Amino acid sequence: MASAIPHERLAEIVREAQMRTGVPVTAAALHVEGRTAFAGAHERPFRIASITKSFTATAVLLAGLLDDRQRRLLSHTAGYRAERTEPLPPECAGLWSYSNAGYREAAAAFDGEYSDALRELVLEPLGLRHTGFETPRDAVLGTLPGDIVTDPSYPVERRPAGGLWSTVSDLVEYGLVHCQQWTDLHQPVGEALGAQYALGWWVRDGVLDHEGSVGGFQSLLLLVPERALVLAVLTNSWKGSALIRHVVEDLRLELPSPPAVNLGSIDGTYALDDLEAVVAGGSVTETETEPLTDTRIERRYPLSTDATLMSWRSDFPRADVARISWVALPRTAS
C-alpha cells in the first residue's frame, strides 16, 4: 500500500469527491507518519453504523468473554441470517454470511447493559469523549433517496451491530490503539468476497478495515498497523460509498485486489428475507428495506468480483448462491 499524497491535499480530495457524488456532509481524517490531517465537518458526530462491530468485539475481548462461540458470532460464521438468529437456508448452510443478529447475540453475554459495558471497557479508557449511543446535539443527520432526512433514533436492541455515533478524531485515536494491540481480534476466522474476516474487521494483506451503512449514513475506518496509518471517512448520504471509493483512490491507497473469478452462469434473482438482488447483464439491482426508516431502497451498480472495497464486491460461492451486500442469498429465479 502506498500513500504519497501530502496531508495538505486531504481537504481538496474530499471537496472534489463531494462535488462528484453530491454527498451533503462529509468528514475525513488521515493519520500517517505521525501527523493527522482533517477535512470537512471533522468535529461533528456521524452515525458510524457497522464500524460499531469492532467496538463490540473489542469489549468482548476486554471483558474476558472471547470463547469459541463468541468468535463465531463476531466473525459472521455462526450460520445466522442477517437480522434474525435463525439458520440460513440449506443452500447457504456453512457459508460465511454477514449477520447483525450475531452481534446482538454476542453482546447478550455481558453482565448488565451492553452500552454500559462498552463505555466502561472501551470508550472511557481510550478517552473517546465524542463516541456514544445517545444522539449528540450537533449530530449530522442522514439523508436517503429523495433527500429524505432520517430520524436519528436507533433501537436499543440493535446497538451492538451498528448504533454508535462518533467523530473522525475519535476514530483515528481508536484506530491507532488497534494498530498497536488487541491483535487477537485481527486474526482471520472466515473467508468471503476474496478477503478474510476477523472479529469486527476485514483483513487483506496487512490492511484492516470496516465499512458502515445505515439510515442514510455510510462510513469507512481503514488501518495499516505496520505503518500506524489510519483513515476515517464519514458521510451522511446513501451515496457515501461512491465518495469513500473516490477518496481512497485519490489518496493512492492501493488496497490489495482479489483475483478475478470465472463466474459461469450467474444471472438470476437471489433473495432472502427483505433483501433481493437481480443479477443481469453485468449489473446488480439490489432492493432492501432500510431498517431504521422502513424505507424501501433500490441500488443499481456494476457487478464486480474484484473491487477493493467490500461494499462494491459480490461473489458466487456456490451454484445458485450469491453474496450481495455481504449476505448469502439463494437463487429464487433464473
Evaluate if residue 254 carries a pLDDT over 80.
no
pLDDT tens figures, 52-104: 999 999 999 999 999 999 999 999 999 999 999 999 999 999 999 999 999 99
What pLDDT is stored for residue 308 in this prediction? Answer: 66
Evaluate if residue 261 carries a pLDDT over 60.
no
Evaluate if residue 5 carries a pLDDT over 80.
no
pLDDT tens figures, 96-134: 999 999 999 999 999 999 999 999 999 999 999 999 999
Evaluate if residue 2 carries a pLDDT over 60.
no
pTM of the model as a whole: 0.94
Evaluate if residue 138 carries a pLDDT over 90.
yes
Mean pLDDT of 198-206: 95
DSSP 25: -
Whether the Cβ atoms of residue 15 and residue 223 lie closer than 8 Å to each other? no
Residue 153 binned pLDDT confidence (cut-offs 50, 70, 90): confident
Helix H segments across 152-216? 159-162, 168-180
pLDDT tens figures, 203-243: 988 999 999 999 889 999 999 999 999 999 999 998 899 99
Q: For residue 76, which of 50, 43, 112, 38 has the smallest C-alpha distance? A: 50
Q: Which domains does the chain have, with CATH numbers?
A: 7-250 (3.40.710.10), 268-333 (no CATH)
Considering only residues 298 and 182, tell me which one the structure prediction assigns the higher pLDDT.
Answer: 182
Mean pLDDT of 258-263: 58
What pLDDT is stored for residue 8 in this prediction? Answer: 76
Evaluate if residue 1 carries a pLDDT over 70.
no
DSSP 249: H
Mean pLDDT of 32-51: 96
User: Under 8 Å CB-to-CB from 49, ≥6 apart: which residues?
Assistant: 162, 211, 212, 213, 214, 215, 217, 218, 219
What pLDDT is stored for residue 193 in this prediction? Answer: 86
d(CA 85, CA 63): 23
Return the amino acid letter for 257.
S
pLDDT tens figures, 267-321: 999 999 999 999 998 899 999 988 777 788 888 888 887 666 766 788 999 999 9
What pLDDT is stored for residue 313 in this prediction? Answer: 81
* Cell of residue 27, nine digits: 468528514
Whether the Cβ atoms of residue 212 and residue 219 lie closer than 8 Å to each other? yes
What pLDDT is stored for residue 263 in this prediction? Answer: 60
Residue 19 binned pLDDT confidence (cut-offs 50, 70, 90): very high
